[in-house]
Structure 1
Amino acid sequence: MSVRTALVAATAVVAAVALAAPVAAAAPAAPRAGHDATRAAMDANIRDGVVGIALQAKDARGVWKATAGKGDLRTGEPRTARDRFRAGSITKTFVATVLLQLEAEGRLSLDATVDRWLPGLVRGNGHDGRRVTVRQLLNHTSGIYNYTTDEQLGRDLFLADGFLKNRYRTHTPPQLVGIAMRHEPDFAPGTDWNYSNTNYLLAGLVIEKVTGNPYGREIRARIIEPLGLRGTGLPGTSPSLPGPHSRAYSKLAETAEGKTYDVTRLNPSMAGAAGELVSSPEDLNRFYSALLRGRLLPKKQLDAMKTTVPLGDQGGYGLGLIEQTLSCGVRVWGHGGGIHGSLSEAVTTADGRHSLTFNLNSDWTGNSQAIVEAEFCGE
């Protein structure tokens, strides 16, 4: 989730794998009584230029599925409630869960240094993996530079000319980490907080070192298969989006004006363990509900995951999990994700009983926080 949009969008228009700063809390609202406010917030997003929305909410009354807008601008086909989509940085909660499971099994310590598992990889221009812990990767207190903010990479991946040329290019985690190492750290490890996708590229590599398996295989075996998440996967380098799915749209520019591009097909290795996941509203509701109910982690590890770095009055960032107290006092946990043509939010209450996941299939506009507030706080 971002402390509203687990912080959304590498630029104001292109919802790359990066997330941005938390948004100010809304004015207090009355406790919710139904989904009418959620529907109204969805419709308002469509009026404001969002192409389409696919949403599912689950609470004590059952499951509510809703869509708005279009799934395909060329054919006019609407979005469907069964849509799969690129979930971007929601991937981070899956990665963090696997590392916490490995800790519970005694196979690593979160307080071990990155250099213990990836010797020499985090080095240069003031970066030093001997001073950064795995825990600091997961809660973004490492100070490691965020590779998606590199100016040249931004032109290559997030603006029209570069994206159209490079959309099918394969990027390896060491290559992307190497881009981050060309820059100075944001701060000394443990002294501050800043969202960095590089942290989770490294976390994925740590999983591979500990287990001997690709991180995607561990996520499938430990989370996807046990929970029966049939619409969820990690595509690796495949540019295809499995069906059913809508098209994904971006301006591929620094403004919200100009041509709209279909960016459905892309090689998600540009995001890797920081954001390659494909999922659905149903699956993400099931995942976060199971996680918060303690089905995936022992209490000690779940408590550690929910131990947050305060982000002002906006909430806090734990280990791949974001906490936010909404305007009506409801506390929710989750994550959000942005990647080309796709903005997603997944949140649930601490008891796992009320969950909400939705996806916008365009990345240059939208008020996701209004939908979250409407579902949990609206009349």
Structure 2
Amino acid sequence: MNESATETHKDTTVLGGGRGRGLRVFRRVGGTAALAAALLTGVATSGAAAADSKPASAGQDRPELQKAIQAFVDSGLAAGMQIRVNDERGEWAGSAGVRKLGASAKPPTNGRFRIGSTTKNFVATLVLQLVDAGELKLDAPVAGYLPQFKLNPDITVRMLLQHTSGLIDYTYDVDTEGKPVQGIPWQGKDWVAKRFHTYTDEELVRLSLSKGPKFAPGERWSYSNTNYVLAKLLIEKVTGSYEREMKQRILQPLKLSRTELPGTRTDIRGPYAHAYYRYEDAPGQWKVIDVTRQNPTWISAAGDMISTTKDLQMFFSALNNGKLVSAKLLAEMRKPHPESAALYGRYGLGTWVQDLNQRLGCGGTVYNHNGSNNGYAALMYSTPDGSKTLTASITSGDADADVAKEFPKALDNLLKTAFCGENAAS
């Protein structure tokens, strides 16, 4: 997600995320609106399916939440959506829209989905756990751990997690003069042609480095997927295995059995909703394809994980109530950089900090890290103590929705409903 308000020069509207960065932006491509990196347009399904007949709240009816997610579908933002809310009323799970275009079944509320840049919150948590264990130092030079890349010695571990390293995003970015810097194919016809291609982490990092720095380390803030690919390599360097450490330190202790690091695997195991990608195949000629299967190595640890709304809820609640990192490092995680203002708040270390009172007039402080990759989007929010959470999956369809207009409106409505009381959004 490139969520900095300072970077609107390269995108029409910053929605906060994208290119595996959580619901990113609207870019203009050949005069047409395209969604940069994931939440593509959905299908407007009139009278789309309601929540599962037996929601997680043991029969408790939450019509206000059902109405809020139905708005995503009705606006054309989603073919399908599933949501889970935990609060003082208990747990509720529901869905709207369709599991697959052309079918009537709704998305399963226990379905797995690609979580995009929400992965970054897991990675940042793992890095901070290694800092707690004394295996990494937060303000140590990354070059000391990964000498093969000949990184600027002023780039620290903290800067990777905070997006202040100055490293160019290997997907798409702008240079020091504001000129576009093209990286790997990450959208449109080019991405479709290479969606099963396998990239290595070293390849992605070296591509970024070949473009030169965007600014001096620590000088500014700029969201870059390169930072979290390097964070993965850093974890591997000090522990021997990124996947093993993620499982042993986070997934297994929390019993997140439906959360996966897919590697090069292209499929999704277990129940899931299909996701679609709308792109311009030739001038004025649009196509829609099923992108449920795709090789996630293009986004690596910046956005490749697969999970469920339940697992995301369990993880984010545990993190925010202090079960995963020390109080000292949790406080560091929540210190926002002042230049990182965006739709989702301001960025700390792998976490967005947002004052809903300022944005909505109610709701207080929440922490979040939303995410997306082509066809999928994820929402993950929590109150500071982890007692109230909202997690959701959005799968795109075949409609050409006005995302820049409709997404902020639908998201605000959902957040107001979940965090300000059941009648707040009515």
Q: What TM-score, normalized to structure 2?
A: 0.78
**Structure 2 equivalent of residue 16 of structure 1:** 37
Aligned counterpart for 1:360 among listed residues 374, 394, 404? 394
Per the alignment, residue 367 of structure 2 pairs with 333
Q: Are 2:105 and 1:77 equivalent residues in the alignment?
A: yes
Q: Is 1:280 matched with 2:312?
A: no
**What does the per-residue CA deviation read over 1:154-203, in whole Å, with 9 as the maximum and x for residues that have no partner?**
5x33212x233211111011111122122232221111111000000000
Pick from 144, 149, 159: which aligns with 2:188? 159
Measured at CA, do residues 257 and 97 of structure 1 come closer, stay the same or move farther in structure 2, by a change above 3 Å?
farther
Offset at residue 37 of structure 1 (A): 3.6
Matched, 1:42 2:42: no
* Cα gap change, 1:11 to 1:177, in 2 (>3 Å): farther
8 A contact 1:120–1:129 mirrored in 2: no
Whole-Å separation in 2 of the counterparts to 1:224 and 1:61: 27
Q: Are residues 345 and 157 of structure 1, via their aligned partners in 2, closer, same or farther at CA, if it must alter by over 3 Å?
A: same
Q: 1:276-311 CA distances to partner (integer Å, 9 max, x unpaired)?
A: 110000110110000001111111121111122133
One-letter code aligned to 2:418 = E
* Contact 1:140-1:193 within 8 A present in 2 as well: yes
Could you say which residue in structure 1 is the equivalent of 2:117? 89
Which residue is equivalent to 1:237?
264
Describe the shift of the 1:229–1:339 C-alpha distance in structure 2 as closer, same or farther (beyond 3 A): same
Query: For 1:352, what is the secondary structure of its paired residue?
Result: coil
User: In structure 2, which of residues 126, 142, 163 is the aligned counterpart of residue 114 of structure 1?
Assistant: 142
Higher deviation after alignment, 300-309 or 7-16:
7-16
Q: Separation in 2 of the partners of 1:112 and 1:177?
A: 19
1:223 to 244, 250, 261: 250
Kindly indicate whether structure 1 or structure 2 has the higher relative contact order, using CA contacts under 8 Å at least 6 residues apart: 1
**Whole-angstrom CA distance in 2 between matches of 1:210 and 1:229:** 24
SS of the equivalent of 1:338 reads strand
Is residue 145–residue 234 contact of structure 2 (8 Å, CA) maintained in 1? yes
Partner amino acid for 1:266? Q
CA distance in 1, matches of 2:199, 2:182: 14
Match of 1:343 in 2: 377
Is this contact kept in 1: 2:68–2:413, CA < 8 A? Answer: yes
Amino acid at match of 1:159: G
| Number of residues of Structure 1 aligned to a counterpart in Structure 2 | 356
Could you tell me how far 1:5 is from its partner in structure 2? 4.5
Taking the TM superposition and a 5 Å limit, the aligned residue runs for 1:191-206 are 191-206=219-234
Aligned residue in 2 for 1:21: none
Distance 1:51 1:59 in 2: 27
Unpaired segments of 5 or more residues in structure 2? 5-14, 28-33, 40-60, 174-180
- CA gap of 1:36–1:303, structure 2 versus 1, over 3 A, is same
| Gap change, CA 1:197 and 1:312, over 3 Å in 2 | closer
Pairwise CA RMSD: 2.5
Residue 337 of structure 1 contacts residue 344 of structure 1 at CA under 8 Å; is this kept in 2? yes
Q: Post-superposition shift, 1:249?
A: 1.1
- Corresponding position: 1:183 with 2:236: no
Q: Which residue of 1 aligns with 2:289?
A: 261
Code of the residue aligned with 1:189 in structure 2: it is P
Give the match for residue 324 of structure 1.
Answer: 354
**C-alpha distance in structure 1 between counterparts of 2:38 and 2:70, whole Å:** 26
Q: What is the rounded CA distance, in whole Å, between the counterparts of 1:256 and 1:204 in structure 2?
A: 40
User: Residues 179 and 369 from structure 1, CA distance in 2 versus in 1: closer, same or farther, beyond 3 angstroms?
Assistant: farther
Q: TM-score, normalised by structure 1?
A: 0.87
Residue 159 of structure 2 corresponds to residue 132 of structure 1 = no
Structure 1 partner of 2:165: 142
Q: Which amino acid aligns with 2:240?
A: G
Counting only pairs closer than 5 Å after superposition, residues 283-302 of structure 1 correspond to structure 2 as 283-302=311-330
Structure 1 residues without counterparts, runs of 5 or longer = 19-33
Taking the aligned partners of 1:256 and 1:55, their CA distance within structure 2 comes to 35
